[in-house]
């Protein structure tokens, strides 16, 4: 159940998750779903510092189109447990994804991952941990801009003791991404903040997540190797104004994975799904629908 904060306008926590799963090391993962459970499964993985609610619009659209969309909070984010050991490595994120994909039995899921979730998806497929039927990567590539990453991390580290109000948090987002009106809309903020016992508003993720070491050189080597191994239908989506994934990053990825399709979303930055959910959702739905129809065509011919 959702309860109101003392201000009476912003909820103190997000709606209860529809589903929970246990990871291999006992961390509870929380998620929601849309559509018919018998439909083609699509797993939606959010970016650093986000929650499953970043995918609500996309999830509803996929469910209405006949897919079974599942979005879950990465460990340390949203309503999922914080790791008791502070383990937020890419490897453990891949194992979490493996566990959720296993609930579909022999059905191969489609993966849609943004930022952190895109990296998890790329490694899960490229390193052979998961047999997916299609892959959508959102603002993620082997090469990322260190300056853009540093600026994002600085934004995420703001106000470790909490914000006095949601409006103060909105100002922080506005400063980070001045042209993103959607990023600080009230309905978005309510799902990105939690109200603590001290009455202050905190981002809905474990601060220890940022303490996990990131070796960009090792990351590039590992992500590049995975990109070369991709055989499944792949779509790369980039927000035109992203300062983390540049056009040069895209060109390198397309050389590593020549069969991949690419879409550039105008008037959007790194948080493309939230900034231009309309254009983003159409691109994802068009690609996944085409792949689903292609997968079903041999079955229809066999029946005929």
Domain ranges of the chain: 19-146+215-303
> What is the structure's pLDDT at 2?
28
Q: Give the CA diameter of the chain.
A: 65
> What is the structure's pLDDT at 202?
83
Residue 19 CA neighbour count, 13 Å, CB half: 15
> What is the structure's pLDDT at 215?
83
CA 289 to chain CA centroid, nearest Å: 20
- Tell if the pTM clears 0.85, that is, is over it: yes
> What is the structure's pLDDT at 304?
47
> What is the structure's pLDDT at 213?
64
> What is the structure's pLDDT at 204?
84
> What is the structure's pLDDT at 1?
27
> What is the structure's pLDDT at 257?
98
* Length of the chain counted residue by residue: 304
184: which 2 tokens? 């600080």
> What is the structure's pLDDT at 12?
44
Please check whether residue 44 is in contact with residue 69, taking contact to mean a CB–CB distance below 8 angstroms.
yes
241: which 2 tokens? 């104004």
Ordered mean pLDDT values, 10 residues apiece, the chain (304 residues): 31 72 95 96 93 90 97 95 94 97 96 95 98 96 86 76 84 68 56 82 85 82 98 93 89 98 78 62 93 76 47
Residues contacting residue 235 through CB under 8 Å, at least 6 positions apart: 134, 135, 136, 137, 260, 261, 262, 263, 283, 284, 287
> What is the structure's pLDDT at 186?
55
> What is the structure's pLDDT at 13?
52
Distance, in Å, from the CA atom of 264 to the CA atom of 216, rounded to the nearest integer, reads 24
Q: Is the dihedral angle over the CA atoms 197, 201, 204, 207 positive or is it negative?
A: negative
192: which 2 tokens? 């990105």
> C-alpha angle with apex 286: 186 to 303, nearest 5 degrees?
135
19-146+215-303 has CATH 3.40.630.70 classification: no
């Amino acid at each position: 159940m959702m309860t109101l904060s003392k201000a009476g306008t912003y909820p103190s926590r997000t709606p209860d998750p529809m589903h929970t799963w246990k990871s291999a090391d006992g961390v509870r993962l929380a998620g929601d779903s849309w559509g018919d459970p018998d439909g083609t499964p699509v797993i939606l993985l959010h970016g650093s510092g986000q929650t499953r609610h970043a995918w609500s619009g996309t999830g509803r659209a996929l469910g209405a189109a006949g897919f079974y969309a599942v979005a879950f909070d990465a460990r340390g984010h949203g309503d999922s447990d914080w790791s008791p050991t502070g383990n937020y490595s890419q490897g453990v994120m891949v194992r979490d994804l493996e566990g959720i994909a296993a609930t579909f039995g022999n059905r191969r899921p489609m993966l849609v991952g943004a930022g952190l979730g895109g990296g998890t998806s790329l490694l899960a497929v490229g390193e052979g941990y998961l047999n997916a039927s299609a892959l959508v990567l959102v603002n993620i590539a082997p090469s990322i801009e260190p300056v853009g990453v540093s600026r994002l991390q600085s934004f995420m580290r703001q106000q470790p003791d909490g914000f006095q109000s949601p409006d103060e948090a909105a100002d922080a987002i506005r400063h980070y991404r001045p042209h993103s009106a959607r990023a600080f809309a009230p309905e978005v903020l309510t799902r990105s903040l939690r109200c603590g016992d001290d009455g202050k508003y905190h981002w809905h993720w474990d601060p220890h997540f940022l303490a996990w070491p990131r070796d960009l050189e090792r990351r590039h080597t590992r992500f590049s190797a995975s990109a070369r191994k991709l055989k499944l239908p792949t779509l790369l989506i980039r927000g035109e104004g992203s300062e983390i994934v540049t056009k040069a990053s895209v060109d390198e990825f397309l050389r590593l994975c020549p069969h991949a399709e690419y879409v550039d979303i105008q008037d959007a930055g790194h948080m493309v799904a939230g900034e231009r959910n309309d254009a983003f959702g159409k691109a994802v739905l068009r690609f996944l629908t085409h792949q689903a129809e292609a997968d079903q065509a041999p079955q229809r011919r066999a029946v005929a």
